[in-house]
Amino acid sequence: MSELENKIGIPGAAVEPSKAEQSASLQESINEHLAAGGTIDKPKPKPVNRRAKRAAEGKTSKRKAAKVLKVSGARKPTLSSWKMLGVKVGQRLVWVESFPKICTKTYAVVKSINTMELEVHYGKKSTTTDGLMRGEVWIRKQKKMPVPSSPQGWFKWGIEDKKGKLQTIHSIWEKLDRETVMNRRGF
């Protein structure tokens, strides 16, 4: 069959309307429906996670659907300044021997909120370090403790609040969400 016959059409075959004609026809139908007092309902968005889907369908009754967190695909930035944790200049950090137990002879004082600079004290000796890890290494050498191959620092330093409750730097960091850290970061 030639293209000319396709355009003209075969006798008895229905010719499909063009896209413009289809959209005009659809718009006319919508206008007639609305004029008659009808409404157009938009479908509700479907839940993303499985538990929410099951709860929406009524298949589960015991557990509530967990809220779906929007995943931005980005991680928290690297801890690079004390202001990201909300720590002020002059804040005293304590050395954590084993979690609830602290050493009273060993402490550090925050020197700058824009960096991780600390003034570390062990008895009468003191030094200035540029972060938690180097502060931990210095203290371990002073106490003649073994220095691990990759010291982290934030498990050995903590902040004691007014009530005497101890929080490690790592636990404080874990409680913060990405948006708070990004806002405090300052750049």
Residue pLDDT, tens place only, 122-167: 999 999 999 899 999 999 999 999 998 888 888 889 998 888 889 9
Does residue 169 sit in the same domain as residue 89?
A: yes
Q: CB within 8 A of 178, min separation 6: which ones?
A: 72, 74, 75, 76
**Are 87 and 166 in the same domain?**
yes
Is residue 180 domain-shared with residue 88, that is, in the same domain? yes
Q: Does residue 152 form part of some domain?
A: yes
In a domain, 143, yes or no: yes
pLDDT at 112: 92
Question: Which residues in the chain show pLDDT less than 50?
Answer: 65, 68
H or E element, residue 104: strand 101-110
Q: What is the rounded CA–CA span in Å between residue 21 and residue 27?
A: 10
User: Same domain, yes or no, for 49 and 96?
Assistant: no
Do 95 and 102 meet the contact criterion of CB atoms below 8 Å apart? yes
Structural domain range at position 106: 82-185
Its pTM surpasses 0.75: no
3 in a structural domain? no
